[in-house]
Amino acid sequence: MQDFCTYTARQLRQAIEKDSVKAADIASCLLARRNAVDKKVNGFAHFDKKLLLERAEALDANESKGPLSKIPIAIKDNICVKDELTTCSSKILDGFKAPYDATVVTRLKQAGTLLAGKSNMDEFAFGSSCETSCYGPTRNPYDLDRIPGGSSGGSAALVAADEVIAAIGSDTGGSVRQPAALCGVVGFKPTYGRVSRYGLIAFGSSLDQIGPITKDVTDCALLLKIIAGYDPMDSTSIDTDVPDYTTSLVKDVKGLKIGLPKEYFIEGLDKDVKEKVDQAVDLLKGLGAEFREISLPHTDYAVSVYYIVACSEASSNLARFDGVQYGLRSKKPSLLDMYKETRREGFGMEAKRRIILGTYALSSGYYDAYYLKAQKARTLIKQDFDEAFKSCDIILTPTTPTPAFKIGEKTKEPLKMYLSDIFTIPANLAGIPGISVPCGYSKGGLPIGLQFIARPFDEAGLIRAAYTYEQNAGFERIRPEL
């Protein structure tokens, strides 16, 4: 039998149409691949073999005709799939099964995809390394001693390791783009409001967006087309047309004005990362793109602003996990002790740190000094982008300052960990879309990512720029040896 796991979604769709490949055969490939490698990668938080086979059988029986029919997709563990474990990789949601489907899941089911389990993540999406999961860390398929990035580390690692064809992640400060970069796959964060958040367990509600993680830009366009669009169930969803993103899969950047923000090419940027990004710039120049230096003067404040806003929103969103309605419940007889003990036992260290930070920033007396000030600085960061987009159509940056770091390297120093999102956070604060595409490997063989950022709702422009780069980049994808 063919090894369908190594296919992209488009290739697999072609094989399905040409040779009438059965979903059952695709499911067997997945199972074999998972058995062979997932003990090492640990990309799944929840995987139900019986359910996978039943779903495959149903797809075969119904002769499903959806555009992504039979394509196996993993869903991040903070996105609700009806009657399936949805735990945000946290002990506090132990045993919780979602009572309904998130809108993205409904759409993926309608498109005929084969849902293939829940992917591991940093607890409640708090992290950049996938080390805070209660199910243990996911490992980078390119080097098992290294992190896959986070918080959608499971999603990115599963795609990179050919355990699934594509995956869905969520991006609050970089959690789709950063792990995609570190695992050598494509990750897309749409404009805030483009994809419904209904059924995504909230972290930072003003920042969260759901996005695809795929093997190439073509698959990214295919998936985005399915999950994007207005949803009355999400009050922040925007009612605007969704273009057919596959029509943007054209190789043309002639005359495209690309800005290089000087604040992103600074000391501390890894040499190999800089070299690969510089090569990408040269390549795009050769293809007719026009480059200019731009300035995003408030970049330095982004990480601090983000950690105040994101932790404040998280502390409020996580108040609902108190042992009454969801998951874990301590046996303490008094109500107050039950609340306290459930939260003490259920949340990990990073979640507790963020709840405490956020509660402090929102408390009376400190609200003006921290939260309000952060919101004002957020506006300045947004205005930097508005100004920049007067002179360019797309902004190009590295996705991360360094390739994947070692497991355990930053766990004792939260501030160092927080700084690894320095290039991805600004787009979330400004609500604008960004994509990470692979742009080569470090000398040590670790993947490096290139980020394109665009104006609000210009997802199509991003796809076109990223596709042009990908198709011309000319380096071979190295498959991880597992």
Catalogue the active-site residues.
Answer: 76, 151, 175
Task: Report the alpha-carbon distance of residue 291 to residue 168 in Å, rounded.
Answer: 32
Q: In DSSP terms, which residues pair with 188 in a beta bridge?
A: 435
Q: How far apart are CB 415 and ligand GLN at their closest, in Å?
A: 12
Measured distance CA(30)–CA(4) in Å, rounded: 8
Tell me how far, at minimum, the Cβ of 429 lies from ligand GLN, in Å. Answer: 12
Query: CA Rg, the chain, in Å?
Result: 21
Shortest-Cβ-distance residue relative to ligand GLN: 175
Using CB under 6 A as the criterion, which residues of the chain lie in contact with ligand GLN when the complex forms? 125-128, 150-151, 171-175, 203, 310, 421
- Measured from the CB atom, is 153 or 259 closer to ligand GLN? 153
For ligand GLN, the closer CB: 196 or 468: 196
Q: How far is the CB of 30 from ligand GLN (least distance, A)?
A: 26
Residue 37 C-beta: closest distance to ligand GLN, Å:
25
Provide the minimum distance between the beta carbon of 426 and ligand GLN in the complex, in angstroms, as a whole number. 12
| Cβ nearer to ligand GLN, comparing 112 with 211 | 211
CB 56 within 8 A of CB 29: no
Q: How far is the CB of 149 from ligand GLN (least distance, A)?
A: 9
Output 125 or 180, the one with its CB closest to ligand GLN: 125
Output the smallest distance, CB 192 to ligand GLN, in A: 13
Of the pair 182, 310, the CB lying nearest ligand GLN is at 310
Nearest to 39 by CA among 213, 161, 181: 161
Task: Pick between residue 253 and residue 273 the one whose CB is nearest to ligand GLN.
Answer: 273
HSE, CB side, 13 Å, CA atoms: give it for residue 87.
25
Q: How far is the CB of 311 from ligand GLN (least distance, A)?
A: 8
Nearest to ligand GLN of 161, 429 (CB atom): 429
Upstream peptide bond of 436 is cis (omega within 30 degrees of 0): no
Amino acid at 462: L
Tell me the residue type at 327: G
Nearer to ligand GLN by Cβ, of 60 and 350: the residue is 350
Beta bridge partners of 294: 261
- How far is 198 from 104, CA to CA, in rounded Å? 8
User: What's the closest the beta carbon of residue 204 comes to ligand GLN, in angstroms?
Assistant: 8
CB-wise, 203 or 371, nearer to ligand GLN? 203
| Cα–Cα distance measured from residue 193 to residue 382, given in angstroms and rounded to the nearest whole number | 16
